[in-house]
Chain A
């Protein structure tokens, strides 16, 4: 799981306290399991310990004390590294590609570059799986067919994502609003 990297990406988009981090996460990934508060605070504490995030403000406005976190340079570098590496091509990385693509778009990272790198990782894996030669055992192929079908679904999604990103870039280049976090508010 890449909760730490996702939280860092959220902090990269804007400094936030725990409650905002949870809300942004659930906004970014409306169909994923909501992030639990316990997990948010544990993650923020770990990121601070590791020097990837830092406390920039402690607010007490009548209610409970709120600690605002921001990403450090090391944290920014971690997000960049995370987005520059394709996720494993296969079911283990299926959710991860969505997390990375959304995080890249939301933080103004190189989404197109990420999508291209991921496409290549997927195609290479697919080539390995389909390069079986004649006379392969049909039962053995069934298991591979299943993997290939899932990779194909991912690849279609990646192609669609590339087209959407390109269409959005075209629209914003013409001065039309895009659905960024700001516009959505």
Chain B
């Protein structure tokens, strides 16, 4: 790869975003390169989740430019954005966000089914990811029956099942004990590194942040520091 300029997987310029009364992001710029693991850290309420939602194309910012996997999100309509997200992006939200009426297995199979994969094949792939996340015993449970940590493991399985080029994870181990969190993170980061995917990891846990190649620290909606960790 020497001599070639790598196209960033995520490129944000001048991102501004406010909720009714709160300014959450005030001019944030960020680039994530292929195969890079980036941790986004900072105090509660500093805008980490908002930044993740913007970068993943879930929230359209009021100002600035978002380029995801080389595509300018402003130029895509809702259907195109959804398709890009489904095919090439894995997302783990802060509170798991599984579909309540589906079993855990069907939740994990869902991204593949939405992409038109054969039902049996989708369920087989989902079952294998549930096994890797240590969730095979809970595959027939409904999300309401899961503990916080189990929901997070299922959410990670769902994010990885499509083999995404970039994974966005918001406090993916926030409800887990140290060892469980470490194993889930090994899986998430390991799976990404194996296939050359990038990871954007929101966390307030320093041990989690130390897994990243780079730390981006937010304060009050601006980037306070950016540090290369390796």
Contacts and interface: CB of A to CB of B under 8 A. Distances in A.
Interface of A: 116, 120, 122-124, 126-127, 130-131, 134, 148, 151-152, 155-156, 159, 163, 166
Tell me if A's interface is mostly helix, strand, loop or mixed.
helix
Given A130-B207, A151-B206, 11 more contacts: A116-B225, A124-B230, A126-B207, A126-B210, A127-B210, A131-B230, A134-B190, A152-B206, A152-B207, A163-B43, A166-B219
A103 to B, nearest CB: 22
Contacts of B209: 123
B207 A124 contact: no
Contacts of B211: 127, 130-131
A156 B207 contact: no
A120 B227 contact: yes
Interface string B198-209: 000000001101
B206 A126 contact: yes
Contacts of B229: 120, 123-124, 127
A164 to B, nearest CB: 12
B36 interface: no
Interface size class of B (residues with CB under 8 A): 10 to 19
A130 B227 contact: no
23 contacts: A120-B225, A120-B227, A123-B206, A123-B209, A123-B210, A123-B215, A123-B229, A124-B229, A126-B207, A126-B210, A127-B211, A127-B212, A127-B230, A130-B210, A130-B211, A131-B211, A131-B230, A134-B186, A148-B207, A151-B206, A152-B207, A155-B206, A163-B43
Nearest to A156: B206
A50 B43 CA distance: 44
A131 B190 CA distance: 11
Residue of B186, B207, B219, B230 with most partner-chain A CB within 10 A: B207
Tell me if B's interface is mostly helix, strand, loop or mixed.
mixed
Interface of B: 43, 186, 190, 206-207, 209-212, 215, 219, 225, 227, 229-230
Nearest to A148: B207
A156 B227 CA distance: 18
Contact of A123 (B43, B190, B219, B227): B227
B107 to A, nearest CB: 27
A12 to B, nearest CB: 27
A159 B225 CA distance: 13
B225 to A, nearest CB: 6
Contacts of A123: 206, 209-210, 215, 227, 229
B36 to A, nearest CB: 14
B66 to A, nearest CB: 27
Contacts of A130: 207, 210-211
A116 B219 CA distance: 13
Contacts of A127: 210-212, 229-230
A156 B41 CA distance: 13
A50 to B, nearest CB: 35
A158 to B, nearest CB: 9
A166 B215 CA distance: 20
A94 to B, nearest CB: 15
